């Protein structure tokens, strides 16, 4: 049986509409996850919620213990992850306020613990990451989006940068040439670790600003805050609808 988790990013450190039945502080072989695993009912569906940056948003992207987060979800019996990220928009269809379902990613991060392969397994495994996000979950989200009243950008290339600083305009121009349409700081190694752990993983990205140099303006934290506040409810409506449909099948 499937068990669903939501990993909340910036703007989603708490899931206010989760009727919490348990808050479990766990420790994994890789250390402590970003926060407790909050189990409960969301939109009528049982889910586990984990705040990627911690419940008080204390962890910058490069200090999130991605391995502990994924290992904790796996140990809790989770099979399927909806990963919510706030991103900068690079592609012209990815302006602030848009909700994007990326289908590809490029990893520009460095120095993060990015694999469970620690040399102790009998055989090295090279997981296939050709399609980094679950095709089945992307199809489901695209199918339910109209009923949820959410207009989705159907694909995108998520470029994962190291942060916590934002990028330079030249870095974004390079990413654009590489084919990135979105930029964020947390998609990797999270997506690859989920694949290593055998979890179905999909990312839903809320665009909260034009990436550096794209809109011709400097990036405003007020604008980011505005889009986080206004866009997250639509993202959650979408996930709630997807959960309802998935559980009814």
* Nearer of residues 126 and 221 to ligand HPA, judged by Cβ: 221
Footprint of ligand HPA on 187-216 (CB under 6 A):
208-209, 211
Contact between 156 and ligand HPA by CB under 6 A: the answer reads no
* Nearer of residues 199 and 208 to ligand HPA, judged by Cβ: 208
Contact between 231 and ligand HPA by CB under 6 A: the answer reads no
Q: Reply yes or no: is the peptide bond before residue 26 cis, omega within 30 of 0.
A: no
Contact between 134 and ligand HPA by CB under 6 A: the answer reads no
Contact between 65 and ligand HPA by CB under 6 A: the answer reads no
- Given a contact cutoff of 8 angstroms between Cβ atoms, the answer to whether 158 and 180 are in contact is yes
Contact between 59 and ligand HPA by CB under 6 A: the answer reads no
* Nearer of residues 48 and 208 to ligand HPA, judged by Cβ: 208
Tell me the site size for ligand HPA, rule CB under 6 A.
12
Q: What residue ranges bind ligand HPA (CB under 6 A)? A: 86-88, 161, 166-167, 183-185, 208-209, 211
């Amino acid at each position: 049986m499937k068990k669903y988790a939501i990993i909340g990013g910036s703007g989603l450190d708490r899931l206010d509409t989760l009727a919490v039945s348990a808050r479990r502080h766990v420790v994994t072989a890789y250390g402590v996850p970003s926060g407790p695993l909050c189990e409960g009912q969301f939109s009528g569906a049982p889910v586990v919620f984990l705040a990627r940056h911690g419940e008080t948003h204390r962890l910058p992207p490069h200090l999130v213990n991605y391995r502990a987060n994924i290992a904790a979800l796996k140990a809790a019996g989770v099979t399927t992850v909806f990963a919510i990220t706030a991103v900068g928009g690079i592609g012209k269809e990815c302006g602030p306020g848009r909700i994007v379902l990326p289908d590809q990613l490029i990893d520009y991060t460095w120095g993060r613990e990015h694999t469970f392969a620690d040399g102790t397994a009998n055989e090295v495994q090279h997981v296939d990451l050709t399609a980094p996000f679950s095709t089945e979950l992307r199809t489901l989200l695209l199918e339910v989006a109209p009923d949820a009243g959410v207009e989705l950008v159907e694909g995108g290339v998520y470029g994962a940068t190291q942060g916590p600083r934002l990028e330079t305009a030249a870095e974004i121009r390079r990413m654009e040439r590489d084919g990135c349409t979105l930029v964020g700081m947390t998609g990797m190694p999270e997506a690859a670790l989920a694949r290593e752990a055998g979890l179905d993983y999909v990312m839903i990205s809320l665009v909260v600003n034009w990436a550096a140099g794209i809109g011709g303006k400097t990036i405003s934290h007020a604008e980011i805050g505005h889009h986080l506040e206004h866009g997250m409810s639509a993202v959650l409506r979408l996930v709630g609808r997807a959960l309802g449909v998935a559980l009814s099948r």
